[in-house]
């Protein structure tokens, strides 16, 4: 179906009429799965082979930057970082490496060492807690924070590496503290500032206020610096806040596959890509996104909820007769887009998935006929009748082996 015809059969209230927010923009994507994601206490640190494949698939779907670890965490972290940097170099992947580090030489020097030994430029993401509650708990003061900020950024820049200064819990930090530390970081040569909603406190209004504050400060200093957004999902606002950050002017937005991360997790980068694709802000081929999500789930022992959008088991399944009938009629017209969209707000095939029609107690004969014919089984009236009897006596969708048992009995 042509785009003009698609517009004829769907009226999109998301695009038509008034808007309450600025237009969406194209930004760069920064994946944190192999650093923030594996900090989740329920996640298994993947094997190096799985990490390598995750990075390959991130590059394939168009993610621009990847955090390949926190070398300051120990010997294994250093080795994994080195291997991933070498792979990006040797396979000429179209993705840029970064590493996290506290504002401490013991964290930053290993990044410098890996970069110099591999010849791969690695961006230093050096972080520091800045909220009043953190300062009170740690016994820190602003003089100490500024000293650490300047020393960390200077060390990374002296080594010739790109450096982003990351303020933890930015959304609960005092503007005077942020102004002082942001200014110090930029004076030392920081290439960017990363605003963090470390504890998932922000609402979209807070996102706008903080990004505008930061952009205004950078403009006032007369420097050229990137602004990143890194959000968590404690209030269930992770994805919405990331989209608000893009509207507000963020240049780069962070996320993790399936939203894995500390506590309830981060912005799900897969869902961010899906939404930007649907909004017309991403034109990459995202059909490999399902493979990335499935791999991350398996490698990290992080089960995908059945109702997770797009990539959950039930995202494109239906066992309801009226829904299935509409999909089947669309399939009969020979139009993949129509079949994908008639009962779905997301075209499954765009993201490596497909529509699935099941047989259950709410199914009609069309479900049964389609199920059988899609498996090259003749849908005779008697067979359909026997399967219908089983389905109506059940209180759930039938498993494949249950339906096939009826098929086998009919054949005998």
Q: Structural domains in the chain?
A: 19-299 (3.20.20.70), 317-411 (no CATH)
The predicted structure's pLDDT at residue 3: 63
Q: Cα 376 to chain center, whole Å? A: 37
- Would you call 226 helix, strand, or coil by DSSP? strand
As a whole number of angstroms, the distance between CA 389 and CA 410 comes to 13
The predicted structure's pLDDT at residue 5: 66
The predicted structure's pLDDT at residue 81: 97
As a whole number of angstroms, the distance between CA 176 and CA 64 comes to 32
The predicted structure's pLDDT at residue 335: 78
As a whole number of angstroms, the distance between CA 42 and CA 100 comes to 21
Q: Which stretches of the chain drop beneath a pLDDT of 50?
A: none
Q: Is the distance from CB of 125 to CB of 167 less than 8 angstroms?
A: no
**The two three-digit tokens of residue 157, written as one number:** 């820049």
Residue 219: half-sphere exposure toward Cβ, Cα within 13 Å: 7
Q: Which residue has the tokens 């009897």?
A: 389
As a whole number of angstroms, the distance between CA 27 and CA 276 comes to 10
The predicted structure's pLDDT at residue 2: 64
The predicted structure's pLDDT at residue 13: 73
pTM here is: 0.91
Which residues touch 85 (CB under 8 Å, ≥6 apart)?
Answer: 68, 97, 114, 115, 118, 120, 122
Q: Is the distance from CB of 68 to CB of 77 less than 8 angstroms?
A: no
């Amino acid at each position: 179906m042509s785009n003009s015809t698609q517009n004829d059969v769907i009226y999109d209230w998301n695009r038509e009429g008034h808007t309450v927010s600025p237009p969406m923009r194209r930004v760069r994507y920064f994946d944190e799965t192999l650093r923030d994601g594996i900090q989740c206490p329920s996640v298994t640190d993947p094997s190096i082979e799985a990490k390598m494949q995750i990075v390959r698939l991130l590059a394939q779907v168009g993610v621009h930057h990847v955090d390949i670890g926190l070398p300051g965490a120990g010997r294994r972290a250093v080795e994994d970082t080195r291997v991933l940097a070498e792979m990006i170099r040797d396979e000429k992947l179209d993705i840029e490496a970064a590493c996290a580090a506290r504002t401490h030489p013991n964290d930053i020097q290993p990044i410098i060492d890996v970069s110099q030994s591999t010849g791969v430029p690695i961006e230093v993401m050096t972080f520091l807690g800045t909220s009043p509650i953190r300062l009170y708990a740690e016994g820190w003061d602003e003089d100490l924070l500024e000293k650490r900020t300047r020393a960390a950024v200077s060390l990374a820049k002296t080594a010739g590496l790109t450096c982003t200064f990351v303020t933890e819990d930015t959304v609960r930090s005092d503007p005077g503290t942020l102004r002082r530390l942001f200014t110090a970081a930029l004076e030392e040569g920081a290439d960017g500032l990363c605003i963090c909603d470390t504890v998932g406190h922000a609402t979209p209004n807070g996102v706008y206020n903080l990004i505008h504050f930061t952009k205004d400060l950078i403009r006032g200093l007369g420097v050229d610096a990137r602004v990143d957004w890194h959000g968590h999902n404690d209030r269930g606002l992770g994805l919405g806040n990331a989209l608000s950050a893009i509207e507000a002017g963020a240049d780069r937005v962070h996320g993790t596959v399936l939203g894995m991360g500390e506590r309830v997790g981060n912005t799900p980068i897969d869902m961010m890509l899906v939404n930007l694709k649907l909004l017309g802000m991403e034109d990459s081929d995202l059909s490999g996104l399902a493979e990335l999500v499935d791999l991350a789930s398996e490698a990290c022992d992080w089960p995908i909820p059945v109702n997770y959008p797009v990539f959950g088991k039930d995202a494109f399944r239906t066992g309801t007769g009226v829904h299935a009938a509409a999909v089947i009629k669309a399939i009969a017209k020979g139009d993949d887009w129509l079949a994908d969209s008639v009962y779905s707000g997301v075209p499954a095939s765009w993201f490596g998935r497909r529509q699935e029609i099941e047989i259950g107690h709410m199914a009609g004969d069309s479900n049964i006929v389609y199920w059988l014919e899609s498996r090259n089984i003749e849908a005779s009236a008697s067979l359909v009748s026997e399967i219908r009897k089983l389905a109506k006596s059940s209180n759930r969708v039938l498993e494949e082996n249950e339906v096939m048992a009826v098929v086998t009995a009919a054949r005998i």
